[in-house]
């Protein structure tokens, strides 16, 4: 194997490994767990490659940046289980 072919092979392997780590981190790594409460605004099934249910939860009574005012907070989330999304 020549030096040029070795560089291309090693470079390709590094790109594949980095791409694999990015995909794992973006779609499979859980970085938080917990419970949110509020009113469900909507939930829809969408996605190009990974079809998931995307929703928006309205949390009322969250303090805003201005003193003495109350503002709603929108929390966006994803659900991969159809049974959970239908509940």
pLDDT digits (tens, 9 = 90+) for 30-84: 777 777 777 888 898 888 887 888 989 888 765 666 666 666 778 888 887 788 8
Say which DSSP state 28 is in.
Answer: T
- The sheet carrying 70-79 orders its strands as 39-46, 52-63, 70-79
pLDDT of residue 48: 84
Predicted TM-score (pTM) of the model is 0.49
**What does each C-alpha distance from 76 to 14, 29, 67 come to in angstroms?**
34, 17, 25
Q: Of 87, 32, 34, which Cα lies nearest the Cα of 59? A: 34
| Rounded distance between C-alpha atoms, residue 76 and residue 87, angstroms | 17
């Amino acid at each position: 194997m020549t030096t040029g072919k070795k560089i291309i092979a090693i470079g390709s392997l590094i790109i594949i490994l980095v791409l694999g780590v990015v995909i794992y981190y973006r779609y499979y790594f859980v970085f938080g767990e917990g419970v949110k409460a509020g009113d469900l605004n909507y939930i829809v099934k969408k996605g190009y490659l990974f079809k998931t249910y995307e929703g928006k939860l309205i949390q009322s009574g969250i303090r805003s940046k201005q003193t003495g005012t109350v503002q709603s907070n929108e929390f966006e989330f994803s659900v991969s289980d159809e049974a959970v999304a239908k509940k």
